[in-house]
């Protein structure tokens, strides 16, 4: 499936931030966010606004080490209701501008150096998922482009299989020797862009990730947006839009051990 461009990532950051801002402006700040059980709408918005400013600070300063999350400028959610939507949108604009200015200059990226454009992809998916959290919290329809969703799956699997993943139980997500195949589809797309596939395995020494199809103990397929939502636990493992074949408990076990 076609990988989104940098400009598409920028557009998603802005659009998802604006959607979140609209929801925050129109709803009770204490509204619980079921897909982030410890947060209400205010805490969700604060997190997104701070994440944007944190990434912008990393990129702007060309940081080569982690920047303290709580130290970023203008990181406090406004007390005045009239200022909240503008604060959310300003954070999105700040991180996009910082990345555009830095281009491919190396910056800190979760324990290693990467081109600053790394943060375009990371912030696009971070913002989209949390915009979806807000939409689910207020009972509104969730929409996500299939290409962006497939890229979100690719990024997420790469993070989970990487050594820097924060989830201590990631290696327990699959028994040693077990393999999980995932297939994301884009109904109506040209044949070349209609599907993306991955196989995740536990080699006994850790998790491996391979693009494409292959033998697996459990296979999960479905529309890219629904599959992404299931993988980041914004939709249930038994979502009727997904087809699961093989040992279904391996998929539910994977989800339990890999929180977003």
Q: What is the pLDDT of residues 65-122, one digit of tens each?
A: 999 998 899 999 999 999 999 999 999 999 999 999 999 999 999 999 999 999 999 9
Asked if 150 contacts 186 with a C-beta cutoff of 8 angstroms, the reply is: yes
Q: From CA 105, how far away is CA 103, in angstroms rounded? A: 6
Q: What is the mean pLDDT of the chain?
A: 94
Location of structure tokens 């059980």: 37
| The pLDDT value given to residue 166 | 61
HEC letters along 84-114: HHHHHHHHHHHHHHHHHHHCCCEEECCCCEE
**DSSP-derived secondary structure for 59-78:** HHTT-SSPPPGGGSTT-SPP
Handedness of CA 162, 163, 165, 168 (dihedral sign): positive
| The pLDDT value given to residue 164 | 59
**Do 6-143 and 147-257 come out as alike in CATH topology?**
no
| The pLDDT value given to residue 203 | 87
Output the CA angle 42-47-50, nearest 5 degrees: 120
The stretches of the chain forming alpha helices (DSSP H) are 6-26, 41-60, 81-102, 118-137, 146-161, 224-231, 248-257
pLDDT string in tens for the chain (260-residue length): 789 999 999 999 999 999 999 999 999 999 999 999 999 999 999 999 999 999 999 999 999 999 999 889 999 999 999 999 999 999 999 999 999 999 999 999 999 999 999 999 999 999 999 999 999 999 999 999 999 999 999 999 999 988 656 655 666 889 999 999 999 999 877 766 789 999 999 988 889 999 999 999 999 999 999 999 999 999 999 999 999 999 999 999 999 999 88
CATH code for residues 6-143? 1.20.120.450
| The pLDDT value given to residue 32 | 98
The domain limits of the chain are 6-143, 147-257
CATH 3.30.930.10 fits 147-257, yes or no: no
- Structure tokens given for 33: 């966010």
């Amino acid at each position: 499936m076609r990988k989104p461009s940098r400009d598409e990532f920028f557009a998603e950051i802005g659009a998802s931030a604006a959607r979140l801002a609209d929801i925050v402006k129109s709803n009770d700040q204490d509204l619980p966010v079921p897909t982030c059980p410890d947060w209400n709408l205010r805490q969700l918005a604060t997190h997104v606004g701070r994440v944007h400013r944190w990434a912008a600070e990393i990129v702007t300063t060309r940081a080569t080490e982690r920047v303290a999350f709580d130290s970023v400028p203008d990181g406090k959610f406004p007390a005045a209701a009239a200022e909240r939507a503008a604060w959310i949108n300003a954070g999105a604009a700040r991180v996009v501008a910082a990345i555009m200015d830095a281009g491919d200059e190396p910056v800190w990226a979760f324990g290693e150096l990467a081109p600053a454009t790394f943060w375009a992809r990371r912030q696009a998916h971070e913002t989209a998922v949390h915009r979806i959290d807000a939409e689910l919290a207020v009972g509104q329809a969730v929409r996500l482009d299939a290409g962006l969703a497939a890229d979100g799956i690719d990024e997420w699997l790469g993070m989970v299989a990487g050594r820097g993943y924060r989830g201590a139980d990631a290696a327990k997500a699959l028994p040693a020797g077990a393999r999980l195949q995932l297939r994301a589809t884009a109904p109506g797309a040209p044949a070349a862009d209609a599907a993306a596939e991955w196989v995740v395995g536990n080699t006994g020494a850790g998790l491996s990730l391979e693009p494409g199809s292959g033998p697996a103990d459990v296979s999960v397929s479905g529309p890219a947006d629904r599959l992404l939502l299931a993988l980041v636990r914004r939709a249930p493992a038994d979502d009727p839009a997904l087809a699961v074949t093989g040992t279904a408990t391996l998929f539910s076990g994977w989800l339990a051990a890999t929180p977003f």
